Amino acid sequence: MEYSHYSVLLRECMEALNLRPEGIYVDGTLGLGGHSLSIAKQLTTGRLIGIDRDANAIAAAKERLADYADHITFVQGNFRDLPMILSDLGIETIDGLLLDLGVSSPQLDVAERGFSYMADAPLDMRMDTGESLTAWFVVNKWPEEKIRRILWEYGEERYAPRISAAIAARRKQAPIDTTLELVEVIRSAMPAAALREKQHPAKRSFQAIRIAVNDELGAVDALMEHAAELLRRPGGRLAVICFHSLESRIVKNAIAARENGCTCPREFPVCVCGFQQTLRSVGKKAIFPTKEEIMENPRSRSAVLRVAERV
């Protein structure tokens, strides 16, 4: 099989993880296995745990990584459950954790998955097709106010009130069954000036609904609660690629809370609040794709990599 998937910030991620050939690493968002392939190539006696919610992604990654299968354990699951996954595998300590929080190209490009606003398909958007909540249910059954809130918070859509009202009005006539039907409703709610913008008018709304369907922010928040504890070896690395400002904020704040969480007044000579630093940022700033990478893969333009190290 020929693979055209582009692994975002690949070189930067490998440098960030500071890989050890004998280490144990987790790729919590396996996708087609591009990042995992680079990790596996550097392992000798080490082990890689590749996790993804999408059964299709697991199957494709197994094929791509077949030459390194002796070093890899594949798990269909949600990275938010990583402590339980590792416990089930008998693993207590890992040396590095990588998350790429973007939607993979196959999920976007395969119309039937319902992620894309460019092709007609049933409203689905589930990363794990075994889950019950679909985009159809969100669009057709959630209260108008709840839809308005997710469009505003998850999509940062300034026309959220107009779009949610249009969705509520349209579904009274008949269910909104497909992606292009939803695009039509979104377009009808937006002013002419917004429709002339370079960005597709449905992009922010589709992003918001996808995040809600898959509870993506909740998963990131849950994992960050345990990230430091999972990286028990001093020097163990956490590398997270975010594509959404809310995800990035969760990761940034979680690292900061474990790096600078002391609440004592500055004039105190020693800490008395009980804070113990567990993470520290690697580098003073977040890492962004180079101009060359963005030209080669335009989907990488909104990516930001945050790296932290176990203290």
Distance from C-alpha of 180 to C-alpha of 123, rounded to nearest angstrom: 9
**Is the whole-model pTM more than 0.85?**
yes
67 neighbors 98 (Cβ within 8 angstroms): no
Q: Which of 167, 247, 234 is nearest to 202 (CA)?
A: 167
pLDDT at position 103, please? 82
Task: Provide CB contacts within 8 A for 10, sequence distance 6+.
Answer: 34, 35, 38
135 or 106, which is more confident: 135
Q: Which of 238, 235, 237 is nearest to 250 (CA)?
A: 238
The two tokens of residue 224 are: 């960050």
pLDDT at position 53, please? 95
Helix axes 203-214, 144-154, angle to 10 degrees: 110
104 or 19, which is more confident: 19
Residue 4, pLDDT above cutoff 60: no
- Kindly report the backbone phi and psi dihedral angles of residue 158, in degrees, each rounded to the nearest multiple of 5, phi listed first: -70, -20
Count other Cβ atoms within 10 Å, centred on residue 199.
8
Digit-coded pLDDT (tens) for 48-61: 999 999 999 999 99
Task: Provide CB contacts within 8 A for 270, sequence distance 6+.
Answer: none
Distance from C-alpha of 204 to C-alpha of 171, rounded to nearest angstrom: 20
- Band (2; pLDDT cuts 50, 70, 90): very low
Residue 3, pLDDT above cutoff 80: no
> How far, in whole angstroms, is CA 308 from its chain's centroid?
17
Digit-coded pLDDT (tens) for 247-305: 999 999 999 999 998 888 888 888 888 899 999 999 889 999 999 999 999 989 999 99
Rounded average pLDDT over 79-103: 95
Distance from C-alpha of 21 to C-alpha of 95, rounded to nearest angstrom: 11
Digit-coded pLDDT (tens) for 64-80: 999 999 999 999 999 99
> What strands lie across the sheet with 304-310, from one edge to the other?
72-76, 47-52, 24-27, 96-100, 237-242, 304-310, 279-281
pLDDT at position 148, please? 98
Q: Facing residues of 307 across strands?
A: 239
Q: Which of 208, 305, 288 is nearest to 251 (CA)?
A: 305
pLDDT at position 5, please? 60
Strand residue runs (E) in the chain: 24-27, 47-52, 72-76, 96-100, 237-242, 279-281, 304-310
- The four Cα atoms 105, 123, 53, 224 give a dihedral, to 10 degrees, of 90
18 or 109, which is more confident: 18
Rg (CA), the chain: 21
Distance from C-alpha of 83 to C-alpha of 80, rounded to nearest angstrom: 8
pLDDT at position 1, please? 38
